[in-house]
A and B are shown apart, each in its own frame.
Chain A
Amino acid sequence: MSDSDQASARNNGQSKADLDRAFERLYRDHLRDVYSYSYYRVGNHHDAEDVTEQAFLQAYRHFERAQRESNGRPLRPWLIRIAHNLASNYHRDRARRPQRVLDEGEPIAALHGTERIVEGREELKNVMDHLQHLPDDRRDALIMRFALGMDNREIARSLGRSDGATKVLIHRAIKQLEEEISANGG
C-alpha cells in the first residue's frame, strides 16, 4: 500500500468528531494569523473580517483533504494561502467595480489603517507606504515574515515557491525597501 493510500486509510478511520476537533484547533490557533494577513492585504477591518470568514469557510470545505495530504506538516501555510488568494480576488474585484460603487461603500482605508497602526510615527508610516508599493509577491512575503513570523519554508509553501526562491524573494524585497527609503531621504 502506498503512503497516500495509508494516509487515506487512516483518514477514513478518522471520525467526523475528530475532524471537527482538529478544525477547531486550527481555527483557534490561527484566527489571528489569518486576520492579520487579511488586514495588511486589504487595509481595513471591515473587509479583513470578510476575507477571514471566507478563508475559514474554504478551509473547512477542504480540510479533510488538506489534512490527509499534509503528512503531518503544519497547516498554517495552507490556511494563509487561502487568505492570500481571497485577498488577491478582493483586489481584482475592486479594480473591476465601477467607481460609484466604491464611493458608496466604506472608503478604502489602507492609509487610514496604516496611520492607526503606526500611531503617528512618521518613520513607520514611511516604511508602510513603501511596502505598499513593492511588487505583490515581495510585499506579501514580507507581511508573512514580519506580521506572522513565518519562516522561509512556511512562506514558500504559502506562495507556492521553492525554499530557495523564497529566500531570494525576501532578500530582494528588503533590499528594494532599503534602497527606496534611502532614495526618498530615509
Chain B
Amino acid sequence: MAAEPSRDVESLLRSALRPIEPPEKLSGRVEETLSAVTEAAAEELSAWAEELSESELRSLRDPRNWLRPAAAITAGGIAAGGLVLVELRRRKRPSRLSGLADQVSEIAGQVRDQVRKSRD
C-alpha cells in the first residue's frame, strides 16, 4: 500500500531523525584519548617538575580527574575491558588515528600553558 501523501513532512522528519544513542564503547574511547592527553601533559610538565608541588603533579597524572565521572554515567559502568577494546581498535586502524599523536602533543602543550596560567 502506498504511503499516505497527506502526512506532514515535519512529523515524518521528527520520526525519521531520532537521536542516536552513542555506543557504550565510545565513551571509553573518548575517555582514553583525553586521558592520553593528560598523561602527555604530565610528561611535558615533568621537565619543569621542580616548579610544581607534589600534589599538582599527582593530580595531573591521575586520569580519574578527567572524564571518568562523565563516562561512568554515560557508559553505565564500562570498565578496563572497554579501554582494551579501544586500544585494540586503534592498533587495527592506525591510518584513521595517524594524527592523534600530533594532536595529543599539541593539546598537551596547551594543557601545560593552562596550568602555568592558573598558577601565575
Contacts and interface: CB of A to CB of B under 8 A. Distances in A.
B94 interface: no
A16 interface: yes
Given A36-B19, A57-B107, A127-B16, A122 B3 contact: yes
Contact of B23 (A16, A28, A45): A45
Contacts of A185: 2, 5
A143 interface: yes
A49 interface: yes
Interface in A5-21: 12, 14-17, 19-20
Interface residues of B, number: 44
A59 to B, nearest CB: 10
A56 B3 CA distance: 40
Interface in A117-156: 117-118, 122-124, 126-128, 131, 142-143, 145-148
A71 interface: no
A61 B34 CA distance: 11
A126 to B, nearest CB: 6
B22 A60 contact: no
B20 A32 contact: yes
A6 to B, nearest CB: 17
A181 B13 CA distance: 12
Contacts of A25: 70
B118 A39 contact: no
Contacts of A17: 59, 65
Q: Identify whether the interface residues of B are mostly helix, strand, loop, or mixed.
A: helix
A64 interface: yes
B61 interface: no
Contacts of A182: 5
B46 interface: no
Contact of A186 (B2, B18, B59, B118): B2
A20 B66 contact: yes
A19 B18 CA distance: 31
Given A61-B106, A127-B12, A127-B13, A53 B23 contact: no
B93 to A, nearest CB: 9
A64 B114 contact: yes
A123 B12 contact: yes
B91 interface: no
15 contacts: A14-B118, A20-B65, A24-B67, A27-B67, A31-B22, A35-B26, A49-B23, A56-B33, A56-B34, A60-B37, A118-B16, A127-B9, A146-B10, A174-B10, A186-B3
Interface of A: 12, 14-17, 19-20, 24-25, 27-28, 31-33, 35-36, 39-40, 45, 48-50, 52-53, 56-57, 60-61, 64, 117-118, 122-124, 126-128, 131, 142-143, 145-148, 174, 177-178, 181-182, 185-186
